[in-house]
Structure 1
Amino acid sequence: LRRAVELDPNNAHATAVLGWQICLANDDADGLNFIEAAESRAPHHPRFGLWATYRATAHLFMLDYGSAVPACEQAILRTPQYYQPRLSLAWALLGAGDHDSAKKATEEAEKFEGAEITAKFVCEMKKWSANSPHAEQCNQVLDELLLMSS
């Protein structure tokens, strides 16, 4: 991704994914600058709506729940028919200690895809967070999220 961005600095999606990976693998908030640059440069890109979700999960992988909540809310506004930002919001709210709101966000997500979507989401996020220096802490909150949906 670094090479792709070097070759084409205007490739907004490569820039956003690179930023996300920097946050995920290195616990480095500077990766958010890449995501935000992609968002500001390409507001009409087909993946623009997803970049707020990338930003939200980047915060989650770095255990920054307070910043993840508004990023998730922005992702929900950009992609209102997509379950993932709602489950990311539930993860952020659980991490911040707001169990009631997390439960509500989980229920909203499950309206789109059914109750099994939470287990699928947790499984996917555990795979991604395995690359994070905070994998254990991510897994703890994700386990809580899974129990909440049962």
Structure 2
Amino acid sequence: MFTALKFRLTPRARTIVQVALLSAVWMAASLLSRLFLPAVPAGVLGMLLVLAALWTGWLPVQWCRDGARWLLAEMLLFFIPAVVAVVRFPDLVLSEGWKILLVIVASTAIVMTVTSLVVDRCYRIELRLKRRIRRGLTHA
């Protein structure tokens, strides 16, 4: 169904539809999180749902590629509430700012380290699989 729509929609309309699809997944994840898994944030649950759908093939990558690219490109807009909080509560930032900064730096370092380790591990697995496939093709 969507593949046929892909060719009829302009790139802008396709991006809007994909952002709406990703937003619908987030809203569904928010509802599921509130009702059944309050310990799991809606963003994490939504990401897992999209990842599972992509992995199983229920959701082709083309159905969300443009929308995801647009959301990533406009990510700065999602940080505006944090800037507003800094402007609105300067006393809190001045008194507790070093703790906030420490958490930001530590969490960024942890995320970057874990991400690099996961990417490295996945790359090594992919290389091993390609070597096995090549060996299998040469022995056949």
Common fold, TM-score beyond 0.5? no
Greater Rg over alpha carbons, structure? 2
> Larger helix proportion, structure 1 or 2?
2
TM superposition score normalised by structure 2: 0.28
